[in-house]
Amino acid sequence: MYNIQQESLFSLQDLLEMSPKDTYGYLFETLDINPFLRVVSK
């Protein structure tokens, strides 16, 4: 079994302080979805 440690984008406190609209904006700004789109579009 694999043990993969993922770095967090934001602290829990930061997420709790953001409104839902802010949270979605920050997530989509930091995530690079191009590799995902390449795989899905094939």
Length of the chain: 42
Q: Provide the domain count of the chain.
A: 1
Give 16 or 39, the one with higher predicted confidence: 39
**Residue 38: predicted pLDDT:** 87
**4-22 residue pLDDT tens:** 777 777 788 887 777 767 6
Q: Is residue 35 part of a domain?
A: yes
Question: Distance between CA 14 and CA 17 in Å, rounded?
Answer: 5
Domain around 25: 15-41
**Cα separations in angstroms, 39 against 4, 19, 42:** 22, 31, 6
Q: Is residue 21 part of a domain?
A: yes
Residue 8 three-state SS: coil
Question: Distance between CA 25 and CA 27 in Å, rounded?
Answer: 5
Give 31 or 42, the one with higher predicted confidence: 31
Q: Is residue 36 part of a domain?
A: yes
pTM: 0.31
**Residue 5: predicted pLDDT:** 78
Q: Is residue 28 part of a domain?
A: yes
Question: Distance between CA 3 and CA 29 in Å, rounded?
Answer: 27
